[in-house]
Structure 1
Amino acid sequence: MSAAPAAVLDAAARRGWSLAVAESLTGGLVTATLVDVPGASRVLRGGVVAYATELKASVLGVDAALLAARGAVDPEVAVAMAAGVRQRLGADVGLATTGVAGPDQQDGHAPGTVHVAVVTPEARHVRSLDLPGDRRDVRAAACAAVLSLAAQVLGP
């Protein structure tokens, strides 16, 4: 396990912030990775796997018009998912992943197209990636990417 999950949890704890996670292509991997760290419960509120597009709207509050116009694989959708899970689960920080794990394209996006986001009380951050590898590789790299972004945003 990389140091990022522990760093994210420690940085959030130092700020007195709680975390929530919204996942699509990672299917719970980000939340599970955070839960692997002893003491995660001090800041982790929970996670939502909104794999189906309509759940991004109904469960996470992503604007249906945005989803209709851009599809689920979009940087603005990633930010909206992070903001939505933050609000829905009553957390200070929301993390989100959306993209195409493969092996097939989705809505014209190639496998490996991934967007990760972190929303804090202070700012919204998003990173768009083109990840190599098979389905397992893309999902693992997307998990690592959102945790790396969160570690960077939350600071040492």
Structure 2
Amino acid sequence: MRTTPLSTQSSSSNPAPPAATMRAVVGRSYGSPDLLAVETVDRPAVGEGDVLVRVRAAGLDQGVWHTVTGLPYGIRAAGFGLRAPKNPVPGLDVSGTVAAVGRNVTRFQIGDPVFGTGTGGYAEYATAPESGLVAKPPDVTFEEAAATPSSATAALQALRDAGRV
């Protein structure tokens, strides 16, 4: 992935640029969740159309179990890594505040509260494509927002596809 300089303008209302490292839950091999450990790792790089999110909450759903255990085996062939996870930091659904943006990001600014689907949500910082995030409504907590993306998609599919509503 090609990366570009981040927008890291700082003022009294915007936080300083994030450190080069962060703490994260890491799984270096597929298997039991007991194999996960908290480690200090490099902060993810942000591509031209990506957003760096300072994670306030992360969702936990069946998809996380699949990516941690590598089961069913088809998940590995689907691009998550055959022998070990390509991205050792699990977690897809995130909510938090924008810490930095790629050069081509136009919808978000540093400090904006957001939620959606990204990569590496079980860490202090996660990345997401601009299209994978939306603004967090003020009356929704970060925890509620983080639980929404996968659950809402599953509910929509059940209502629309199975229930034909």
Q: Which TM-score applies when normalising by structure 2?
A: 0.28
Bigger radius of gyration: 2
Higher strand share: 2
TM-score between both structures, scaled by the size of structure 1? 0.29
